[in-house]
Amino acid sequence: MVPHRINRPLIWLAIIGIVLYFGVILINLLPGVNGVEEELSGPKVTEEQAADLARQFVHTKQPDYTPNKINIIYQSDKGLSGYLQKAKLTEEYSTRYGDNYPLDYWEVQMFDSRNRLNWIIFVGLNEPKVTAWNQKQAAPASSGSQESRRLLAESFLAENGYDPADLQLMQGSRSSLLMYESAKESIGESRLQLGVAVRGEEVVGFVPSFSVPESFRQWLAGQERSAGLMSYIGLGGMFLLSIAALILVIINRKKVRFSRGILFALIFAGLYGLHTINSWPGASTQIPPEDAAIFNVVYIVFTFLIIALLAGAQYFAAISGDQLWRAQGWNPWPRWRDSNFGEDMFYGMGRGYLLCLFILGVQQVLFFIAGEAFDSFAVNDPTQSVLNMYWPALFPLLAWMAGTSEEIMYRLFGIALFQKWFRLRFLAVLVPSIIWALGHTGYTIYPSYTRLFEVAVLGIIFGYIFLKYGLMTAIFTHVTMDIILMALSLMTTTPSTSNILIGVGYILMPAITGYILMWVHSLFRKRSGPASTV
């Protein structure tokens, strides 16, 4: 048994982090304080309830129809949500319109025996009601005159509680889709618009929504372009780091330990592949259902090719970083054969928990600063939501992939490389931190530079953790932080007794892992005798 040691400075840092974390949360509850909005809480309407409501609705329109397959995905009106948050109108919208025109909703897709899409039904996440619908396989659009379609659409709107006198037919309405704008219902610069699809002599679709002002659309498009550019620069930086690692491996091939990075590369590839399959529904949310088959083939081939390339990059960064540090007389990455391996794992885990609490507090402060100084806000992203995963309970496993791969690439190798080039430790920490941060700007947090600012600061902290305590402490700190955030997302977004217990288990997983590694290594040492400390 390894004796426990009390690291008072880290305990104080953990206490400071806890105070900062909950202090910022309390400050954000005060009126007039901006904050970066958290991911949505658990939906009140389950997927099963949404499917039942969709079936009941379709039965009223087409009594003899029975779907062969039902697909349900979570969707969000990101454009409108972003406008409301930027204009600080989210709470007012939720009160006035949230039940009838929800920002977040279930999209229920119904297919026939030939796998053709027949119906799309929208059901709100918080109110068990159908809010929009569209029948795909319906009468041809050419039958009936434009005037008869207009009268039919306005009769339908009147039957559903809308006054046609308050509605104006918008220019550009197609013959099969008539768009009306309300003269009364508005919020800020956004107005209620009602889309009525008419084919032949029947209404086959109704999609109400609030418009997004053109000024905000242009602002958001600019933000997306900036985020895309920064992401590409970050990806380019990682590519150059990977090429540099490969070149250094070739140059120093006689000094490189080629077996070192294999396990991490396999962990990276396995977890990334599992996450790719698990998050498949989220990736398809922006694709029309009728194009899903082609998209699935392209997506799986392209993604697994990228996984293979990234796993290779991780491998070369690991073995090259290991060699560069050993050349400087420091071994930040213990080997299994080292006598102190078990202790390094155990104490690295303990330090990881304490340092992670500190970083979580710092992150909350950074979010607070971003909200107050930059008017930052976040919108829900269906492509990354646990609601759009086959197995939400597997989501926190991604923390192990991110924590290990990023610490190897940007700390173990990145700092060693830039310290070799610049000779200044701060620049050696700062440059890979910025490259790392650039790769995180694609999240739906605006303005797009918000995450660059936040993640770069966290990267500097991770860099000095690595230089002070070595690779395993940096990995445990990073993994523990990510796993706590992901477990909390799992527990709040898909709340259930089982998911809460699973989330708690994930939060304890780094501790269990560190202890098991220490215990197994102690058994190995007893059986194999004295181990090398070189």
Complete DSSP assignment for 16-58: HHHHHHHHHHHHHTSTT----PPPP---SS-HHHHHHHHHHHH
Burial class (CB in 10 A: 0-12, 13-18, 19+), 432: buried
Structure confidence at residue 104 as a pLDDT band (50, 70, 90): very high
441-470 pLDDT per residue, tens:
988 899 989 999 999 999 999 999 999 999
Could you tell me which of 356, 300, 314 has the C-alpha nearest to residue 477?
356
388-444 pLDDT per residue, tens:
999 999 999 999 999 999 999 999 999 999 998 888 899 999 999 999 999 999 888
Could you tell me which of 390, 440, 494 has the C-alpha nearest to residue 40?
494
Q: In 380-449, which ranges are continuous DSSP H helix?
A: 398-406, 414-422, 425-438
Using CA atoms, how far residue 319 sits from 48, 412, 431, 520, in Å, is 49, 10, 21, 24
Structure confidence at residue 171 as a pLDDT band (50, 70, 90): confident
DSSP characters for 85-127? HHTT-HHHHHHHTTTTS-SEEEEEEEE-TT--EEEEEEEESSS
- Residue 302 sits at the vertex; the CA angle it makes with 435 and 243, to the nearest 5 degrees, is 40
* Maximum alpha-carbon separation in the chain: 92
Alpha-carbon distance 83 to 90, whole Å?
9
CB 112 within 8 A of CB 118: yes
Determine the pLDDT at residue 291.
64
307-321 pLDDT per residue, tens:
999 999 999 999 999
Phi/psi of residue 167, nearest 5 degrees: -115, 145
Q: What is the mean pLDDT of residues 354-366?
A: 96
First to last CA, the chain: 23
Task: Indicate the average pLDDT of the chain.
Answer: 90
Q: What is the mean pLDDT of residues 111-124?
A: 91
Determine the pLDDT at residue 138.
56
28-79 pLDDT per residue, tens:
877 655 555 544 567 899 999 999 999 999 999 999 999 999 999 999 999 9
500-531 pLDDT per residue, tens:
999 999 999 999 999 999 999 988 887 765 54
Q: Is the pLDDT of residue 378 over 70?
A: yes
178-236 pLDDT per residue, tens:
999 999 999 999 999 999 999 878 899 999 999 999 999 999 999 999 999 999 999 99
